[in-house]
Structures are given as structure tokens and as C-alpha cells.
Amino acid sequence: MAHILILDDEADLRFILKTFLTSEGHTIDTATDGKAGLRLVELHHYDLIITDIVMPEMDGLEFISTIRRKFPDMRIIAMSGGTAKLDKNLLLATAKLMRAGTVIDKPLDMIALKTAVNEVLAG
């Protein structure tokens, strides 16, 4: 199946996503933020990246922008639950404008995630 990189600063969510997507037959790597994710992208080939938008160090929007410059055809799913100060719909719309293939809001619906992963990988 696919080699997928998951970026999220929440350890529990990284574990849940890794467990779920591994059970779907994918190989999963994880990173805690955009900077760590970029280091992994430089070392490995990924079929898909799933990134949170609100993260420390380098947020998901900066990460997507950097990836688009270096790897314009990379498949990306962006996800966000927003914050008290940042509306999740605005964050997700911005990610979509930055050419994230799909955007998903948090809390995650695993069926919606599975569908999004399958659609992005098929496209």
C-alpha cells in the first residue's frame, strides 16, 4: 500500500492515526511538527502526507508552502480543529487554496479519513 507521513503535535492522535492506517495496510512515519516532517521528507519517499495545521515550530501552512516549492506534486491532506483564536474553517480553506488535496476537520471521523486517504491516493 502507501507510505504515509503524519504530522501532528498531539502524541495520542499520532498513535491513533498510525494504528488505524497501519491496520489499513499502509506504512506510517510520524513527526511532531513541520520542521521534523521536512527532515523526513528529505530522507524518504512518501505517497501521502497528512498534516495538522496548528503545530509548534513550523505550522502546517508553512509546511505545505515549503513542500509545494520542493515537491509540487506531493499528495497532502490537511487537518485542523482550529484554536480559540483561529477558526478551523478559515485554516482549512487556506490549506485548500495552498493545494492540499483534501482538508478534514477535527475531531476526526475515521471513516471520513479512510475515504479521504483512498481518494487522494487514487487521484
* Residues 48-99: tens digit of each pLDDT: 999 999 999 899 999 999 999 999 999 999 999 877 788 888 889 999 999 9
Amino acid 83: pLDDT: 78
CB atoms within 10 A of CB 80: 26
* Residues 103-118: tens digit of each pLDDT: 999 999 999 999 999 9
- What's the domain range around 27? 3-122
Amino acid 84: pLDDT: 75
Long-range CB pairs of 86-91, under 8 A, 24+ apart, other chains included: 86/54, 91/53, 91/54, 91/61
CA atoms within 13 A on the CB side of 95: 30
Residue 27's CATH number? 3.40.50.2300
Tally of structural domains, the chain: 1
User: Comparing C-alpha atoms, which of 88, 5, 104, 83 is closest to residue 46?
Assistant: 5
Amino acid 63: pLDDT: 97
Band of pLDDT at residue 23, cut at 50, 70 and 90: very high
pTM of the predicted model, to two decimals? 0.94
Q: All 3 cell numbers of residue 108? A: 476526526
* Residues 29-44: tens digit of each pLDDT: 999 999 999 999 999 9
